[in-house]
Amino acid sequence: MNLKLSLLLLLFISTFAKAQQTISVKGSAPFPATQEYTFICEKYAYTGEAKIQIAKTDKGGLLKITIDTANDKARIAGGLYVDLTNADVIACTDKNVKESADGKTTSYYYFTPAEWLKLKKTDIYAVRFIIAGGSNDFGNQTGYFTAYNKMNYFSTAFDKSKKTFDTAKEISVL
């Protein structure tokens, strides 16, 4: 009896561990997605982080970028560049698909099938984006920013642990 209960508990835990993330864009059906990565954005003084998530769509892929903002006027605007570790660059145009709530702003960018194949083969090195908004005292920081695929701000030369996310590996599983 104890063995059956242990096996049932193990099956239950493994099911939740394998649960896949999803992204839904303004009423669309949910798309299978990677985990939400926290990329380091050193020049963005407000939080120093950008949340990046990649999803597979019917026609390629989707990138979701979210940042915390100091006011509701700040938005991620314009094009976005995804730099890959092999020095290739994917340029994404702004389709004006945005959300803003609870001190966060989110923008969505789409990938073509050819760009999706590149993402499946090569890890993301960085994501370059623009924050636009009204400037006032104690307002949000605006300008050009780069979010790097790094897990931590600092590390030592003796630290041999993995320092970046394996984006290509997770994207290829989708």
Q: What is the pLDDT of residues 62-82, one digit of tens each?
A: 999 999 988 888 889 889 999
pLDDT at 140: 72
Q: What is the dihedral of CA 171, 60, 91, 124, to 10 degrees?
A: 0
pLDDT at 39: 95
Question: Which amino acid does the sequence have at 55?
Answer: A
- What number of other Cβ atoms are within 10 A of residue 61's Cβ? 23
- Among 31, 47, 30, which Cα is nearest to 39's? 47
Question: With contact defined as beta carbons under 8 Å apart, do 97 and 108 qualify?
Answer: yes
Ordered alpha helix ranges (H), 22-161: 113-121
Question: With contact defined as beta carbons under 8 Å apart, do 23 and 30 qualify?
Answer: yes
Helix (H, G, I), strand (E, B) or coil at 109: strand
Question: With contact defined as beta carbons under 8 Å apart, do 105 and 76 qualify?
Answer: yes
pLDDT at 154: 67
